[in-house]
Amino acid sequence: MQSLLELRHLKTLLAIREAGSLTRAAERLYLTQSALSHQIRLLEEHYGLPLFVRKQPLKLSPAGEKLVQLASEVLPRVAASERDIAKLREGEAGSLRIAVECHTCFDWLMPAMDTFRERWPEVELDIVSGFHADPVGLIFEDRADLAIVSEREDEARIAHFPLFAYDMVALVARDHPLADKPVLEATDFADETLITYPVPDDMLDLVRKVLRPAGVNPKRRTTELTVAMLQLVASRRGIAALPRWSVQHYLERGYIVAKPITTAGLTSELYAAVPQERADTAYLTEFVAITREVSLASLPGIQLITV
C-alpha cells in the first residue's frame, strides 16, 4: 500500500542496466550482489510483477523498463539540485587546475572535463601545461588544485581518491617473434628496444615494477606521441607497454598485438590527489565522480578500486 520505492532503488536499477549484471552493478555501488538481489526481490514483491527476465544477460521486464526510465529522468534532476545546494554553500566559483603525469590520461580527461564544465560553468578549469615529474608538488606550490597520479603518496596534507585500475599490455609487431608467446616476462625485454614516453623511469610502471626488479635494462627510445610509438612498434623498431584501453582501437585493426606482462599481469592504478583541507569541496569530489563515470563507460577493461 505505502510506497516502498526510494532513490536508492532507482540508483540500483540504473546501475544494473548500465553494468548489465547484478554483480558488476554491486561493485559500482559499493554494495554486495546479495544486497541488490534483496532489493529487487522486495520491489518485485511490492509491485507483484517481475522487473527482470531471469536470463543471462539480465533483461528488463516492461515494469523494470518503466522504473529505469523513471530513474534516468529523476536521478540527474536530483543530482542537479544537490549540486545547486553545494553551490549555495560554497559559492559557484573556484578553480580546478589539473596536473597530469600520465600521457594517455588525456583520452578520458577531455570528455570528463567537458561534462564537468557543463555542471560547474563558473569554475575555472585548466590543465597545468607542460610536463611535470612531480604533480603533487604543484599542489603545494598552489599551481594545481588536483593531480592525477598513479601511486598514493604518504603525505598527510594530501587526500587521495581512487579512480580506477587497469592492465598494462606489451605491444609488439604482428610478425615479431615475441608475438607467439602467450605472456611476456621481464627477460623477454632484455634484447629489445623499449619505446616509452620521455619521463623518469619512476613513472614507468613497467620499468619500476618489472624490469628493474629483474635487473633487466633494455635499449631505450622515447617519443611524446602514442601514435608515433605504435608506428615504431608496428615497424619492428621496438616494443612498448601501454594501458590496454589506450590502444584497444589499434588492436582491433590488427596493426599490432598485445601481450600480458608477466603471468600475474601488470596492473596500474590512478588516483586523484587534492589538498586534504579541500577533500570535501563539492566540485572537486564531483570531478572525481565524473571521471570515474566517464572512464567506466568508455574505457574497456578497467576495474574499480575497492577502497
Binding residues for DNA, rule: CB under 7 A, are 4, 8, 21-23, 30-35, 37-42, 52, 54-56, 58
Phi, psi of 247 (to 5 degrees): -125, 0
Taking CB under 8 A as the criterion, which residues in 243-282 touch its own copies?
A: 280
Q: Which is nearer to its own copies, 74 or 304 (CB)?
A: 74
Q: Total residues at the site for its own copies (CB under 8 A)?
A: 28
- Select the binding partner of residue 255 from DNA, its own copies, none (C-beta < 5 to 8 A, by kind): none
Helices (H), the chain: 7-19, 22-29, 33-47, 62-90, 106-119, 135-140, 205, 226-234, 244-252, 282-298
H or E element at residue 149: strand 146-149
Closest distance to its own copies from the beta carbon of 11 (Å): 9
Phi, psi of 39 (to 5 degrees): -55, -50
Q: Which is nearer to DNA, 12 or 291 (CB)?
A: 12
C-alpha cell at 249: 582501437
Q: Which is nearer to its own copies, 77 or 253 (CB)?
A: 77
C-alpha cell at 57: 544477460
Q: Which is nearer to DNA, 23 or 69 (CB)?
A: 23
- Select the binding partner of residue 5 from DNA, its own copies, none (C-beta < 5 to 8 A, by kind): its own copies
C-alpha cell at 244: 590496454
C-alpha cell at 150: 598513479
Bridge partners of residue 172, in order along the sequence: 257
By CB under 8 A, name the one of 42, 49, 93, 228 that touches its own copies: 49
Using CB under 8 A, list all residues that contact its own copies: 1, 3, 5-8, 47-49, 62-63, 66-67, 69-70, 73-74, 77-78, 81-82, 84-86, 88-89, 280, 285
